[in-house]
Amino acid sequence: MLRAYDLVKWFGETPALRGVSFSVAAGETVAITGPSGSGKSTLLQCVAGIMTPDVGEVWYEETPVHALSETRRALLRREHFGVVFQFGQLLEELTAEENVALPLLLAGRAREEALTAARQWLARLDVADCARQRPGQMSAGQMQRVAVARALVTSPKVLFADEPTGALDSYEGALVLRILLSAARTHGTTVVLVTHDPRVAAHADREIAVRDGQLEAAMVRA
């Protein structure tokens, strides 16, 4: 489903990726691991079409993500991908249900239909009581579950998650991860997950270790 070939990315004179290649099968959960500064978040953002590699190719099914314009990549993410960041990145001026409904509204869905779908996802993620609250009224764990709901509300083919539990304590982190993976697997969603935590990586079908911008090792879970 996803294929990356010889990805190279520079930030100024600093190389972030040095020729990384890997693939992800449909329905698979893959954890990209490595220490801070290893290039794992850059790799995820290149594969998700958030940034473009300087060298190399990224393919989603038969679509050359690396060759698309910024507008086409944004449309691809809206229609096929879901993204969860470490700090959720919810819009402060919107309620939880409005944050979750936003991707559907941008896709042209009727407001009440979008809000109904948002409430259903908030209930699945056990934060239905936060529907009318704004981010400043919620705990970090609640905000991250709302962010997961927003990423899954469009039934994406692929869910990208960049350190989704990094800002949470161990209890909230384990809860968010369990809910995220359960919801994704129930809906047949492919998951690409970035983490530095081996306990989080242990939940994936396969682990890809990155160090100094290069693929260091890959491990398949039994």
On the 0-12 / 13-18 / 19+ scale of CB atoms within 10 A, 84 is: buried
Q: How confident is the model at residue 222 (pLDDT cuts 50, 70, 90)?
A: very low
For residue 182, what pLDDT is reported? 83
pTM above 0.85, yes or no: yes
Quote the number of domains for the chain: 1
The predicted-structure confidence for 40-66, as pLDDT tens digits, reads as follows 999 999 999 999 999 999 999 999 999
Host domain of residue 135 = 2-220
What is the arithmetic mean of pLDDT over 24-39? 91
**Tokens 């990423």 label which residue?**
151
Q: Residue 153 maps to which CATH number?
A: 3.40.50.300
pLDDT at residue 117 in the model: 97
Task: Tell me the per-residue pLDDT of 73-121, one tens digit each, with 9 for 90 and over.
Answer: 999 998 899 999 877 689 999 999 999 999 999 989 999 999 999 999 9
125: number of Cβ within 10 Å: 24
Residues 120-143, mean pLDDT to the nearest whole number: 92
